[in-house]
């Protein structure tokens, strides 16, 4: 048996001390998961003992100790000088002849009859442990071909045990530099330079929501994502219904993918960056089948390691698609350490104390974390300038790389022009619990160096940078210590991107999911404009629609997919708790504001009382578009398997309208009672209250819409600033309607809840409804904890 080389398929997770965390993990997966459909390219590990032998053969340890003894860790220039000197000493030493022979022999066996290209990766003996891991401590070398190039890459890999970030990491974790050794992994390259590659996590990296697989994908070699030089495609797959045979792709976000890394013919630079053609940028780089296949492999890895460790172990996985054979491969997997540790349930909110004006917004991007922070902007154009960063500064740069880790630990926040949610800046910021904004596109140009700024990541998936220091507050609540609600408590939600975070609140489900938000923010175009682009006269608007829908085979596919994914994300976040999805309740003036809307909407003098709700759904001017909404509901319920979705119809003026909508829904494939489908009606027009026993024949339950019910009961336009003082849900007439509705619904043995604003704004309204026997109360997210704490005071 070879002394210094071990083939991956001979390794298990117990061999970390011999071949390091990455290589041991690869061996474990090849042995245990190959039969379960996880495909991993073969290779071999050069053991940690080979590294020790290499140092001993060249008599390096004393010289290394001497250099490290002079290091001043808090001095960036000292760290840089020491790191360079140590790495050079190791990389330029002589490879022992017997070790060379073993490596070359293994390489020939791996390649077969002719030289092949391999990836050379480091695998340290103290990395990828459940409590000790960091992104990119050591170096990776791609497209290494030939014996001489391989041996040189192995020496450089050994030297990378002393990268600046690895040195600092070991000091902070309390590891002795000379107790840690490095194994080198040699793995046959997957030709993703001709296809696609990326990273995947078996957890939502922002919120810790455990029921999704998150996948980032871009063209070419995977380093483009890790280095943050591209904004990748992003996909989310829901694990519980993936396991039941459904196809739950609950989110697809198109990245620009402008650059890819491919093979180069240069011996000194074996890879290069090239531009991606515009047409490819506008397409998703993975098919739905590939997304689901990859998610299945990631979930299999997660399940295996969770069983092995006897606790949930979310995984951080690198994958690649081979452009030659078209197959997907797993090339690395390690525990994800930010969310993998058992934590107390704490719900933390961050809130600006005043709303910033649009004038002081400097840029926006993808939020990493949910914090708010103020500090001095430190615009760093290159790594040479990182010594200028002071503790608490907010770093603004094009992108970060592993060499930046020491200085990132000083920063109050990180903002980058490039990158997606799994780029280096994002990964490290999460591990440091530092707020970050990535993929802004223009931060280094729009933010002035040395000026005070506020970075706000508290508003969901998109974060903002504002000029100046804006006051904010932070509140932490232990979820386990709030009292229980005296009535089932639901939540109102509009933004799917907020769903994973707020799903941790102690609520029984979603009482109102607003479809119009998804249409306005994800679809953006008027649905009839998508159905009938030939009616649009403006070339500019046509171009906007073409750009929106470029990744899809048809405009209708774009609409249905976008809407289904928005609904699906919310339903997945709360699964299996019920989620009541209210179909679109835009008014005609709001529909006109959508792209192309002016071609399909009349101008109404009072749109609040105009063409909206049930009357719109069944009208010939909108019926086609309504059926697209129903297709989206069917996709979320049937294809994604999210049967916890209930459907709510807003603004039903008459019983005949109710019957007409339900008949239309049935003709479009959504029939009450079939496959467990429940239909709910908004109770928001006085006629709904007065004739509730007749409406009850067509619906499974009701949800009081206090905003419209108040408006119509008091004859007050709720949008009128002049009449704002008269609009009050606590008015006796409105409270009487609440009571009649509850009594009437219960008399028909129907469920009735409330999803209007009143209980969120007025505690006395909530208490009145509870006293009258309301079946549930649905609140805005920021009202849930205060509502529950008030119950404690009453107790």
3-state helix, strand, coil in the chain (%, to 5): 45, 20, 35
CA dihedral 151, 153, 154, 156 (to 10 degrees): 130
Helix axes 48-57, 61-69, angle to 10 degrees: 90
Is there a catalytic annotation at residue 755?
yes
Query: Which residue reads 């759904």 in tokens?
Result: 617
Strands 701-704 and 462-467: unpaired
CA atoms of 134 and 126, how far apart (whole Å): 11
Q: How many CB atoms lie within 10 A of CB 434?
A: 23
Which helix (DSSP H) or strand (DSSP E) does residue 647 occupy? strand 645-649
Whole-angstrom Cα distance, residue 557 to residue 612? Answer: 24
What's the gap between Cα 513 and its chain centre? 19
Strands 394-397 and 462-467: unpaired
Q: Active site residue: 424, 526, 627, 683, which one?
A: 424
- Give the pairing of strands 140-145 and 117-124: antiparallel
DSSP 3-state of 200: strand
DSSP annotation of 243 reads T
Q: In terms of DSSP bridges, do strands 510-514 and 579-582 run parallel, antiparallel, or are they unpaired?
A: parallel
CA distance 140 to 447: 33
Coil, strand or helix at 456: strand
**Cβ proximity of 314 and 130 under 8 Å:** no
Task: Say how far apart CA 60 and CA 501 lie, in whole Å.
Answer: 51
Question: Which of 696, 666, 657, 694 is CA-nearest to residue 680?
Answer: 696
139 token code pair: 């170096």
Q: Please state, in angstroms and rounded to a whole number, the distance separating the CA atoms of residues 620 and 608.
A: 20
Residue 502 backbone dihedrals phi, psi, to 5 degrees: -80, -15
Phi/psi of residue 448, each to 5°? -90, 130
Which residues, in sequence order, are CB contacts of 508 under 8 Å at separation 6+?
A: 488, 489, 490, 577, 578, 776
Using N-to-C axis directions, what is the helix angle for 763-771 and 732-747, rounded to 10°?
30
Catalytic-labelled residue, pool 154, 285, 683, 755 = 755
Q: Do residues 411 and 369 touch, judged by C-beta distance below 8 A? A: no
Q: Are the CB atoms for 450 and 227 separated by under 8 Å?
A: no
Task: State CA 90 to chain mean position distance.
Answer: 40
424 in active site: yes
Report the candidate in 789, 689, 788 with the shortest Cα–Cα distance to residue 737.
Answer: 689
Residue 592 CA to residue 585 CA, distance in Å, equals 13
Distance separating alpha carbons of residues 565 and 640, to the nearest angstrom: 9
Angle of CA points 166, 168, 174, to nearest 5°: 100
Cα(464)–Cα(358) distance, integer angstroms: 11
Rounded Cα distance between 41 and 52, Å, is 27
182-192 burial, b at 16+ Cβ within 10 Å, e below that, comes to bbbbbbbbbbb
Catalytic residues: 424, 755
């Amino acid at each position: 048996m070879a002394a210094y080389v071990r083939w991956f398929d001979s390794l298990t997770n117990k061999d970390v001390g011999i071949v390091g965390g990455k290589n041991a993990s690869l061996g474990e997966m090849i042995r245990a998961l190959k039969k379960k459909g996880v495909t991993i390219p073969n290779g071999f590990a050069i053991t940690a003992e080979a590294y020790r032998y290499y140092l001993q053969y060249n008599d390096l340890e004393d010289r290394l100790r001497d250099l490290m003894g002079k290091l001043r860790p808090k001095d960036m220039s000292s760290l840089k000088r020491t790191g360079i000197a140590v790495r050079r000493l190791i990389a330029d030493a002589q490879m022992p002849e017997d070790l060379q022979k073993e490596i070359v022999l293994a390489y020939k066996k791996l390649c077969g009859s002719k030289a092949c290209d391999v990836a050379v990766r480091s695998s340290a003996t103290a990395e990828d442990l459940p409590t000790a891991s960091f992104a990119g401590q050591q170096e990776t070398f791609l497209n290494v071909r030939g014996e001489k190039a391989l041996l040189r890459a192995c020496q450089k890999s050994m030297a990378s045990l002393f990268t600046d970030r690895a040195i600092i990491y070991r000091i902070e974790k309390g590891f002795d530099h000379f107790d840690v050794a490095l194994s080198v992994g040699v793995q046959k390259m997957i030709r993703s330079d001709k296809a696609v590659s990326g990273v995947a996590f078996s957890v939502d990296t922002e919120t810790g929501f455990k029921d999704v697989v998150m996948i980032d994908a871009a063209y070419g070699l995977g380093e483009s994502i890790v280095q943050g030089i591209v904004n990748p495609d992003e996909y989310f797959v829901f694990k519980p219904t993936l396991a039941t045979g459904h196809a739950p792709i609950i989110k697809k976000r198109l990245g620009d993918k402008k650059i890819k890394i491919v093979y180069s013919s240069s011996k000194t630079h074996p890879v290069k960056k090239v531009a991606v053609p515009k047409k490819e940028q506008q397409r998703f780089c993975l098919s739905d089948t590939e997304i689901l296949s990859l998610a299945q492999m990631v979930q299999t890895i997660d399940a295996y390691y969770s069983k092995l460790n006897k606790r949930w172990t979310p995984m951080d996985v690198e994958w690649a698609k081979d452009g030659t054979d078209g197959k997907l491969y797993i090339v690395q997997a390690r525990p994800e350490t930010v969310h993998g540790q058992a934590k107390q349930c704490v719900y933390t909110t961050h809130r600006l104390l005043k709303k910033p004006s649009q004038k002081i917004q400097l840029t926006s991007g993808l939020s990493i974390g949910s914090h708010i922070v103020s500090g001095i902007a430190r615009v760093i154009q290159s790594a040479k300038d990182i010594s200028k960063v002071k503790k608490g500064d907010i770093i603004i740069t094009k992108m970060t790389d592993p060499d930046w880790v020491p200085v990132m630990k000083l920063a109050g926040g990180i903002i980058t022009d490039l990158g997606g949610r799994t780029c280096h800046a994002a990964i490290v910021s999460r591990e440091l619990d530092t707020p970050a904004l990535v993929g802004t596109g223009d931060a280094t140009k729009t933010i002035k160096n040395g000026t005070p700024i506020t970075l706000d990541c508290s508003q969901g998936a998109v974060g903002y940078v504002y000029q100046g220091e804006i006051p904010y507050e932070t509140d932490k609540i232990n979820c386990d210590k709030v009292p229980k609600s005296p009535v089932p408590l639901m939540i109102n939600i509009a933004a799917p991107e907020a769903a994973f975070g707020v799903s941790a609140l102690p609520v029984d489900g979603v009482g109102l999911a607003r479809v119009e938000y998804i249409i306005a923010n994800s679809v953006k175009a008027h649905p009839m404009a998508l159905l009938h682009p030939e009616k649009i006269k403006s070339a500019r608007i046509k171009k906007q629609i073409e750009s929106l829908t470029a990744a899809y085979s048809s405009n209708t596919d774009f609409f249905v997919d976008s809407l289904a994914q928005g609904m699906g994300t919310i339903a997945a976040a709360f699964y299996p708790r019920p989620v009541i999805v209210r179909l679109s309740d835009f008014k005609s003036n709001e529909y006109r504001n959508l792209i192309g809307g002016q071609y399909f909407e009349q101008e109404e003098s009072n749109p609040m009382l105009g063409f909206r709700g049930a009357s719109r759904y069944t009208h010939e001017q909108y019926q086609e578009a309504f059926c697209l909404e129903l297709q989206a509901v069917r996709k979320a319920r049937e294809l994604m398997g999210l049967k916890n979705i209930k459907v709510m119809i807003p603004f039903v003026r008459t019983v005949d309208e109710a019957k007409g909508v339900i008949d239309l829904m049935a003709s479009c494939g959504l029939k009450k009672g079939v496959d467990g489908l429940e239909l709910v009606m908004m109770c928001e027009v006085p006629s709904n209250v007065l004739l509730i026993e007749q409406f009850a024949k067509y619906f499974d339950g009701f949800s009081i819409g206090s905003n419209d019910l108040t408006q119509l009961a008091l004859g007050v336009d709720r949008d009128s600033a002049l009449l704002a003082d008269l609009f009050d849900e606590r008015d006796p007439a409105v409270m009487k309607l609440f009571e009649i509705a509850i009594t009437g619904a219960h008399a028909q043995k129907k469920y009735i809840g409330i999803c209007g604003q009143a209980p969120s704004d007025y505690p006395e309204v909530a208490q009145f409804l509870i006293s009258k026997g309301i079946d549930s109360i649905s609140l805005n997210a920021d009202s849930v904890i205060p509502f529950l704490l008030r119950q404690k005071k009453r107790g």
